[in-house]
C-alpha cells in the first residue's frame, strides 16, 4: 500500500467518487495493488520472506549504503513498508497473549498457555526490535519521529483495549462515538496514517502532500475498522453463539440513539443464567435500531474523505489502486 502511494505516472485513475459505489472485493484490490508495487507486501507470505532471490537483492542493496546511489531511494520506500508491517505484525503477536487468570480447566494445560504467552512476548519483541533497527537505518529524523510516535499510539490504544477486555460480557462505559473514534485512531489508524506521511517525507514531497497522505491513511483505516465492526450485523450467520465486541461502532451508536437506561435494560434482557450473554438476541435488538445503518453511513463518510485526499495526487495506476482499496471497505450488500 505504501509503495503504491509513492508511484507516479501510469494510466489515469479518473472518477474517484464513482469508484466509491462499486468495485472488486478486498482480496482482489490488495492483489492488484501488490502488482503495481512489484512484490507481495504482506508478511503473511512466508514464502516471500524466505525467497533466495529477495535475499540476494537485499544483500546487493546493502552494498550501496553510503554511496548515494539512486536505487537507494526506491529501496527506502520499500523498506518503510516492511518496517510498518513488521510493527503491525509485532503488535498482533502481542495481542495473542492469554489472560491466565481467566482460564478454565477445559481450556487446556496451564503450562502450555504460559509457554505460549512467553513465545508471544518474545516473538513480538523480536519483530519490533528488528523494525526499530531498520527504521534507524533510513537515516531520516522526521520519519523516525513519525513511526516512533505511531508505536506510542499503538501502546496506548492496546492498553485501553486490555483494560476493557474484562468488561466484554458486562455493561460497557457510555463512551460515545467521538471517544470511540479517538480510541480507534490510537489502536488502528495512527500507524497507517503516519506511515503514509512518512512515505511522502522519504520521497521529499511538500508538507501539504504529506498531510494529504496522512489523511488518506487515517480515514481509510477508520473505514476498514468500521467495516470490520459491522460484519457480525450484516453477514448471515448460522451460529447462535456469534459474539461481537460491546465496544464496536454499531453497538456504541446504538447505545447513543437508545439512551443509557434503555441500553442497560437490553443488556440485562440478553443475559441468561450466570450472566451469560445471548449474543444472538442482543444482535437482533441492535439490528432493529439505528446503530447499524449509522455505522454504515459513517464508514462511507470516512471513505469519501480518504478519496478526497487522493484527489490531490496526480492520476496514476497507484492512485486508482488506493481508491479501489477504499471502495472495497465501503461496499455493503
Which residues of the chain register pLDDT less than 70?
1-24, 37-76, 96-112, 162-174, 237-242, 274
Residue 297: the pLDDT is 96
Residue 101: the pLDDT is 62
- pTM assigned to the model: 0.76
Alpha helices in the chain (DSSP H): 2-6, 16-19, 26-37, 46-49, 52-63, 71-95, 110-137, 141-165, 176-184, 190-202, 207-234, 249-258, 260-270, 279-287, 291-310, 317-330
Residue 159: the pLDDT is 79
Closest residue by Cα to residue 329 from 229, 236, 244: 229
pLDDT in tens, 193-226: 999 999 889 888 899 999 999 999 999 999 999 9
Distance in angstroms (rounded) separating the CA atoms of residues 22 and 263? 35
Residue 89: the pLDDT is 80
Residue 38: the pLDDT is 62
What the block records as the C-alpha cell of 64 is 550501496
Distance in angstroms (rounded) separating the CA atoms of residues 64 and 140? 17
In which residue are the cell numbers 497522505 written?
213
Residue 21: the pLDDT is 45
Amino acid at each position: 500500500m505504501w509503495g503504491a502511494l509513492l508511484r507516479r505516472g501510469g494510466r489515469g485513475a479518473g472518477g474517484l467518487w464513482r469508484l466509491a459505489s462499486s468495485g472488486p472485493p478486498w482480496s482482489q484490490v490488495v492483489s492488484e495493488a501488490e502488482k503495481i508495487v512489484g512484490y507481495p507486501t504482506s508478511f503473511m507470505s512466508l514464502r516471500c520472506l524466505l525467497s533466495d532471490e529477495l535475499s540476494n537483492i537485499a544483500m546487493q542493496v546493502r552494498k550501496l549504503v553510503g554511496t548515494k546511489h539512486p536505487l537507494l531511494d526506491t529501496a527506502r520506500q520499500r523498506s518503510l513498508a516492511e518496517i510498518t508491517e513488521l510493527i503491525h505484525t509485532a503488535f498482533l503477536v502481542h495481542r495473542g497473549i492469554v489472560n491466565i487468570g481467566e482460564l478454565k480447566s477445559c481450556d487446556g494445560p496451564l503450562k502450555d498457555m504460559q509457554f505460549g504467552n512467553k513465545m508471544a512476548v518474545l516473538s513480538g519483541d523480536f519483530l519490533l526490535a528488528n523494525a526499530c533497527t531498520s527504521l534507524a537505518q533510513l537515516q531520516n529524523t522526521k520519519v523516525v519521529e513519525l513511526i516512533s510516535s505511531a508505536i506510542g499510539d499503538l501502546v496506548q490504544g492496546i492498553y485501553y483495549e486490555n483494560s476493557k477486555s474484562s468488561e466484554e460480557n458486562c455493561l460497557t462505559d457510555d463512551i460515545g462515538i467521538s471517544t470511540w473514534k479517538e480510541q480507534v485512531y490510537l489502536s488502528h489508524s495512527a500507524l497507517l496514517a503516519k506511515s503514509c506521511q512518512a512515505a511522502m517525507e522519504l520521497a521529499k514531497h511538500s508538507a501539504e502532500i504529506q498531510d494529504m497522505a496522512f489523511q488518506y491513511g487515517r480515514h481509510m483505516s477508520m473505514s476498514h475498522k468500521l467495516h470490520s465492526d459491522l460484519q457480525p450485523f450484516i453477514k448471515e450467520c448460522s451460529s447462535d453463539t456469534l459474539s461481537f465486541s460491546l465496544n464496536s461502532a454499531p453497538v456504541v451508536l446504538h447505545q447513543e440513539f437508545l439512551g443509557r437506561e434503555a441500553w442497560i435494560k437490553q443488556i440485562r434482557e440478553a443475559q441468561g443464567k450466570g450472566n451469560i450473554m445471548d449474543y444472538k438476541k442482543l444482535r437482533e435488538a441492535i439490528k432493529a435500531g439505528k446503530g447499524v445503518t449509522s455505522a454504515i453511513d459513517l464508514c462511507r463518510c470516512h471513505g469519501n474523505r480518504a478519496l478526497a485526499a487522493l484527489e490531490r495526487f496526480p492520476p496514476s495506476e497507484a492512485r486508482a489502486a488506493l481508491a479501489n482499496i477504499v471502495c472495497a471497505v465501503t461496499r455493503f450488500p
